[in-house]
Structure 1
């Protein structure tokens, strides 16, 4: 059997729409319309071969067929809801759009609603928090840029509490309006004042932030989640001992009251890209890295305190601050501090 695989791209998402019948193909073309660009690939080997080839390469997979066919096609490929793509099933008449897999973190429920509007179909969503019209901690943490898989046990606990109707206090300390990214906060009591949050009585209390002064005031029963939203600008002496570098980072972050888990990106000047202590930090903390040329940093280095030695060596007066400034597009959290062997600065990247 020859199966026609149509790969559509919408914004930054990669969506595959798989249709098996003439009616399904017509619906596929309706979906394409003005909303998707389409690349058609002819596959030989049937639906199983098509699905296996692209399951781990896409953000959303849409089947226009019977649900049973879709279930059998993806069954052996499913790994983890934190990794799997969203999977939808649409009947070939276009009456229903079923969110089958990865409804929350994969965006399946949102895709189902979106496609339902495009073809005037009813979205079918069975996720408990959605059915009960309450928020979900996993979507809230995703919106706040937390490392969601790290907190899976507490996510299950809070989502079950939301469904049961338990009282849940919420304090978000990563800037005004951040929690508005979450589609639904029903069931949470959002508190804007930290002291009020500390003193409030609730079945559960959820803190989202990276200020260690506040985290240290939480009780053992409070749940806290660290958003990965900061970049660490840094400069170092050549071949600085890794243990010394790690100690100086810890000292710096303690001084500016920032939890290390909030760091998502390390940034510096390009000639430091293979510095052993920087490589060790990226590996130990699972950080992305971004390195700028001296010419890049020249455009902003006058905004920061200068080091005569760095100026003589590189032709620019500072590395940590300008690197953080460029990486964060000027959204600085801390302009910088100089330690014995290194310098540090912080910016907010999301």
Structure 2
């Protein structure tokens, strides 16, 4: 059995799973989500938005995260009646605080000291999944399409797996065609930030607040002019681009005042339309949605309206719990690493070849 740990750009908490993998299926034994300590969450948001930081502070956050992940694993094992001896390895994505895959010095930074995780849990830990792909010329993202192909690749029709976390990303699984996948743009991140600012709520449950407003089509068009949406794949993005400051700048450029609820409705439309713009030219098939956005009924309706030829449904309809999918992917990537098998898809990331992903940290 393997443990997968995922904490995404939405910073809503730490997702954990215990799972086995066999015959292109995942057997999920347990799953849980634990919140970040508020002090750690605020430090991570500030860091990912470009706040000035010292090397000492980066090291402190790295250590704090490693201990937090390890504590979550030990709590998870205790609550599920499992022992560390039951677990072959932990796959831990770490927390991305910056991702810059382009330019003369591309790099990505995930914090969360895996040495601490291995030492404090007694379990072999695999982490640092992205940098080998980048060393081979890739974007280091998205990495989950390989796992999506493993789970959902056997089909006579096109399937697109859409993960809506802080950022939205797609994996396009078409019959007799290479897999493609990339980040489409903001997922929940901007909506979460806006409602926290105006309603003191961490997220807009079912898009209820957005539903009280109206989409400002002119503001939506302006937002969609961001150059990221014009880039060709492979491409990836994160909080370092689509953050609160980006939204503030967009509103400052807009000549008319927009009510807070109309901004929220427009942000929901931005997520849906930026996804739909990537799929309207493809052969219609199944759009399988996972991540927190799959629970936003207003967002799911907006996606179906923007993609009338597609069957839009949560991955739960295919027997895979949507909240667990990304954590499952990193448990699977840990398995791939220990088995000496590749974890990336060069046609997705742009790397020069397939390779094993992740560094392995032993507990002794």
Which one scores higher on RCO, CA 8 angstroms, separation ≥ 6?
Answer: 2
Bigger Rg over Cα: 1
TM range, smaller chain: under 0.3
**TM-score normalised according to structure 1 size:** 0.25
**TM-score normalised according to structure 2 size:** 0.24
